[in-house]
């Protein structure tokens, strides 16, 4: 990849910005470790916007994210099947509402930077304004139709990653953020955001609450966070530089449409593409789910 000609810098936020962020928050019943619900914060948004504005600007200036906002409560939610099997539960992670306010401010600035300077590949259709599953499907259909018009042999390689968001290697993510022009205390903020995160599991059985101890999280972007999806897009963004063909990304779902003059060349290209994908996934700490790919 070539050198990025732009540098990212946090902008100071105003009380008006904070009020706008709080207003946009979804009214969810779930609460973080501090047990403060969203609707309470919305009711007093004008009263607390001044102090939140001061705290957030101080955080961005010093490159530090508060440790108390790195704590997540995980609740296992049963999906279906045998209740005695762990894989039949979906973990729901909930952070403090104040973490979401901090993150919303940063996410808006980070997204504005990446989109404004066109740093994200146009092959990524997930978690982006103006992109969707429909536009991803249309992109793939156009590639297939073009191949059929040219009487080319066509195949699709579809990859599913195992726990992709939970597998992000922090130091690799930091290196990628730095490559894209995030440096100094701006980069230190993201280091701090990822460092020393903890979670504990809470579950209820027969009206009794059970809690685990706090456990440190060494990998992944924070589940249930505002910033997590955007950071993952940054993490997987350079995959497109390794694949020459029609690559389609929707968050962690990867597909490649291959087109060749005949079936024999196509078969070799399929193998070559799978090897390239596996090599990139492996070097970035990600693993292909062979049963779903």
Q: Contact, 224 vs 72, CB < 8 A?
A: yes
Nearest to 188 by CA among 17, 8, 51: 8
Given a cut of 80, whether residue 245 has pLDDT beyond it is no
Q: What is the pLDDT of residues 39-86, one digit of tens each?
A: 999 999 999 999 999 999 999 999 999 999 999 999 999 888 898 888
Please give the share of the chain, as a percent, with pLDDT higher than 70: 99
| Six-digit token string for 272 | 């070559």
Confidence of residue 206 (pLDDT cuts 50, 70, 90): confident
Confidence of residue 25 (pLDDT cuts 50, 70, 90): very high
pLDDT, average across residues 140-156: 93
Domain count, the chain: 1
Given a cut of 60, whether residue 207 has pLDDT beyond it is yes
Residue showing tokens 């995030």: 182
> What is the rounded CA–CA span in Å between residue 89 and residue 167?
19
Sheet holding 153-159, edge to edge: 153-159, 253-260, 246-250
Has residue 250 been placed in a domain?
yes
**Phi, psi (deg, nearest 5) at residue 142:** -65, -40
Q: Is 255 left (phi over 0), alpha (psi -120 to 50) or beta?
A: beta
Range(s) of the domain holding residue 214: 15-283
Q: Tell me whether residue 187 is exposed, middle or buried, using C-beta atoms within 10 angstroms of its C-beta: 0 to 12, 13 to 18, 19 or more.
A: middle
Has residue 4 been placed in a domain?
no
pLDDT value of position 292: 79
Please, what is the average pLDDT of the chain?
A: 94
Has residue 113 been placed in a domain?
yes
pLDDT value of position 291: 76
Task: Write b or e for each residue in 247-269: b if 16 or more Cβ atoms lie within 10 A of its Cβ, otherwise e.
Answer: bbbbbbbbbbbbbbeeeeebeeb
Most confident of the following: 149-153, 188-192, 199-203: 188-192
Q: Where are the alpha helices (DSSP H) in 203-293?
A: 228-236, 263-283
pLDDT, average across residues 110-128: 95
Nearest to 254 by CA among 238, 239, 271: 239
pLDDT value of position 107: 98
pLDDT value of position 266: 96
pLDDT, average across residues 9-35: 95
pLDDT, average across residues 153-181: 96
pTM of the model: 0.93
Has residue 46 been placed in a domain?
yes
Q: What is the pLDDT of residues 256-284, one digit of tens each?
A: 999 999 999 999 999 999 999 999 999 99
Has residue 288 been placed in a domain?
no
Has residue 3 been placed in a domain?
no
Q: What is the pLDDT of residues 217-239, one digit of tens each?
A: 999 999 999 999 999 999 999 99
Given a cut of 60, whether residue 171 has pLDDT beyond it is yes
Higher pLDDT, 33 or 83: 33
Q: Contact, 255 vs 240, CB < 8 A?
A: no
Higher pLDDT, 184 or 78: 184
């Amino acid at each position: 990849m070539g050198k990025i000609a732009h540098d990212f810098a946090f902008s100071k936020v105003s009380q008006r910005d904070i009020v706008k962020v709080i207003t946009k928050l979804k009214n969810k019943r779930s609460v973080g470790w501090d047990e403060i619900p969203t609707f309470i914060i919305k009711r007093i948004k004008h009263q607390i916007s001044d102090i939140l504005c001061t705290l957030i600007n101080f955080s961005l200036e010093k490159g530090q994210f508060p440790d108390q906002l790195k704590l997540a409560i995980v609740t296992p939610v049963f999906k279906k099947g045998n209740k005695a099997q762990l894989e039949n539960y979906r973990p729901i992670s909930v952070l403090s509402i104040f973490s979401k306010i901090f993150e919303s401010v940063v996410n808006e600035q980070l997204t504005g930077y990446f989109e404004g300077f066109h740093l994200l590949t146009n092959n990524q259709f997930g978690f982006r304004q103006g992109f969707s599953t429909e536009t991803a499907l249309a992109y793939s259909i156009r590639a297939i139709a073009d191949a059929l018009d040219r009487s080319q042999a066509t195949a699709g390689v579809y990859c599913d990653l195992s726990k992709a968001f939970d597998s992000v290697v922090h130091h690799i993510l930091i290196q990628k953020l730095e490559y894209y022009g995030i440096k100094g205390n701006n980069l230190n903020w993201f280091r701090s955001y990822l460092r020393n995160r903890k979670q504990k599991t809470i579950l209820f059985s027969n009206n009794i609450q059970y809690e685990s101890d706090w456990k440190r999280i060494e990998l992944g972007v924070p589940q249930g966070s505002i910033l997590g999806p955007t950071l993952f897009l940054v993490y997987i963004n350079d995959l497109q530089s390794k694949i020459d063909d029609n690559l389609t990304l929707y968050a962690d779902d990867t597909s490649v449409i291959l087109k060749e003059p005949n079936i024999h060349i196509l078969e070799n290209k399929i193998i070559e593409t799978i090897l390239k994908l596996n090599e990139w996934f492996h070097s970035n700490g990600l693993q292909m789910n062979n049963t779903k790919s």
